[in-house]
Amino acid sequence: MRPTSKRSLSPALAAKLSPIFHHLRPFNQVSKRLVVLALVATPLYAQAALPAAIQVALSRADLTEADISIVITPVGDKNASHLPAPIQVIDSQSDSSSENTSQSELTTKSTSDTSGSGQKTTQSDAHDEKSHLVQPSTLITIEQRTIKKREQALHAYTDDPYTYQSLESIPTVLGDSSKPTVIDDHNKNGNADGSTGTPSIKMSFSPLLSHQPDIARTPASTMKLVPSFIALDTLGAGFVWHTRVYHTGLVIGDRLHGDLVIQGSGDPKMTHDRLAQLLYKVQSVGIHHIDGDIIIDSAVFKNITKDPAAFDNSPLRPYNASPDGFLVNFSTIGIKSYPLDNGQASLTYTPQLANYQLPTTINTRSASCGQASYSLSPQWQTKQLLLNADLPNSCGEHVFYVAYPDAKDFAARIIAEKWQALGNTLSGDVITQEVPYARTKSLKSTRGLTALSMSPLPIVSYPSLNLTQQIYDINHFSNNVMAEQVALSIGAYSHVDGVKAHDETYVKNHRNESSLYQFGKPTTTDYPAALQSIKQWWQSNLSTPPPHLTNGSGLCRECTISAANLSELLTYAYDSPSFDAYVDSLGVAGVSGTITAHGERLPESAAIGRAWIKTGTLNNVTSMAGYVKGLSGQDYVVVGLINSEQALNAYTARPVLDAMLDWTAEH
């Protein structure tokens, strides 16, 4: 048990005691990996006093040291960093000609002057005195105005399901970290990454700072770091979901005498535009008229529908959308208002819903423009949308994003509308179900050509965006329902008879067996199975106890993880073949993603452009976890979790973790 006193042992006494106390990393018996016993010096006086800047921020936030867990650990070789190049933020407002700078315009340049007399490598004069610490490297330069434009666009659409489907839109040094322990970490068939040859050598450091590392805390959206990396590690960065289309009956001319069957794959980002492309591909094979039904088979995920009001009684917010085997447009519709001259505003909707009444005008009132639930008071009824409040006239041209309560009904209505918009016809209905079509065929009354069996091969196989692109949206913008789709996909795709999905030999020989109907029913999963897959991966690869998950997004109050858990995961990921995809998915402090405002909260922070961070926010949780490149060139894994019994003021709680990032970057 760690002492509760803030006092630490003297350096002399610590030097005498540190060889005595060792942390033994246990053996994990796994199928493809043997963890070699490593002795890492971890003194029992690990509960050191927090740095002064963090203590001051805690006091300002009316929090105590008991409310926070922090683990900061050096990783890698400072001469061979795995992190991206740091980003230098510059402000050239005097150059009026650059007002039209593109948001994507970045300049790369080399900084060879580290004496402090040449090119600046930091944002202010306060940092110049530390410039002698900065190692020669390549910097990415970005304009401050570019960050401002990005942030304004982000906050203008805080409920935008395309980029920001997140709850976050609501508004003491231990030992000598320069002495690493070498761990020979390999498996029976080769190296830790599965390759053959000489086993890789990994560097294991003592923590730079460790404060209450083993307390299980609610992580909020930093929990997304768990399924997103495990998916990359098991599925592979290039993994794609394939939505396949079959038909029964017979195609004569441009008419299908039978049913069109769309087999959902769990694609996290089947936007309405991509759905239109899928249907266009069906049309392109020659089908324009369907004398039958369109059947949506979402059996890849079963029994996962959730009550959108269960978490916080806000069922209309996109972050509460339910996952589904055939999720369309995040089950979210955009409502755009255009002011008129007669005390009204016109309304348009994206996407459109078939056989559903959506009001085209709304009266206006004098009020400030808020979120949709306050400004419009929408209510989804069986056949129509009711707007129970007049639109505030201050909204002007504005987009509200509102979640639809039923993912399957939403998908069916969009498919019906888009099939018709392509100039096609459908004599039957669009039917959604969580049972494979082949299993219910006998229950359907069929005769004539319609009774002919299903096409042996899909007429269309439509690939998703790859996993790297999907993980970027999940972590950069904290998209909840996409995170749940990926977590469930780990259970559906990651293992077949214990084989990883990116095992090239297995995939080549069994590519279609779990997805084509003639080989049996498609792979299916539910949340218990998916979470068990995540737990098994953790137990096979890491030594800390697995975290407790009930979903994959962190939108849960019963989910818990320790700072030691996240630190070990991030350290493991640092040496992974998928690390580039993983770290690039994180926001950059003061530059992009949900950590953009770090630069406004702490303008002189050394972490600006040097920290790749996933944030998390609930009403009593503030968290950050990721990677920091210190000014010395050393890389660090950093984790900070704040939990409070009372609701937190995010504007005072977040600076505590901002101070943590800044303190780390100073090293």
Whole-model pTM: value is 0.79
Topology of 59-71+91-106+142-185+204-238+465-492+526-667 in CATH? Answer: Beta-lactamase (3.40.710)
Residue 556 CA to its chain's centroid (Å): 15
Instruction: Return d(Cα 264, Cα 415) in angstroms, integer.
Output: 13
Instruction: Determine the 3-state secondary structure of 632 from DSSP.
Output: coil
CA distances from 513 to 301, 473, 625 (A): 17, 30, 39
Q: Tell me, what's the pLDDT at 452?
A: 65
Closest CA to 622 of 601, 651, 593, 602: 651
Q: With CA atoms as reference, report the closest residue to 563 among 633, 624, 493.
A: 624
Q: Using the CB atoms, write b or e for 521-542: b if 16+ within 10 Å.
A: ebbbbebeebbebbbbbbeebb
For the chain, residues with pLDDT lower than 50 are 1-46, 94-137, 155-201, 442-443, 496-521
Spatial separation of the C-alpha atoms in residues 131 and 399, rounded to whole Å? 45
pLDDT of residue 649: 76
Q: Output the pLDDT for position 446.
A: 55
Q: Which residue has the tokens 């599925």?
A: 235
User: Residues 90, 141: contact at Cβ < 8 Å?
Assistant: yes
d(CA 105, CA 100): 10
With 0-12 / 13-18 / 19 or more C-beta atoms within 10 angstroms meaning exposed / middle / buried, residue 647 is exposed
According to the model, what pLDDT value does residue 223 have? 97
Which of 563, 571, 576 lies closest to 642 in space, CA to CA? 563
**CB neighbours of residue 44 within 10 Å:** 14
pLDDT for res 646: 83
Sign of CA pseudo-dihedral 286, 289, 290, 296? positive
What are the residue boundaries of the structural domains of the chain, listed by start?
Answer: 59-71+91-106+142-185+204-238+465-492+526-667, 335-401
Burial of 193 (0-12, 13-18, 19+ CB in 10 A): middle
Tell me, what's the pLDDT at 83? Answer: 95
Q: Which residue has 């069994």 as its token pair?
A: 510
Chain centre distance of CA 291: 41
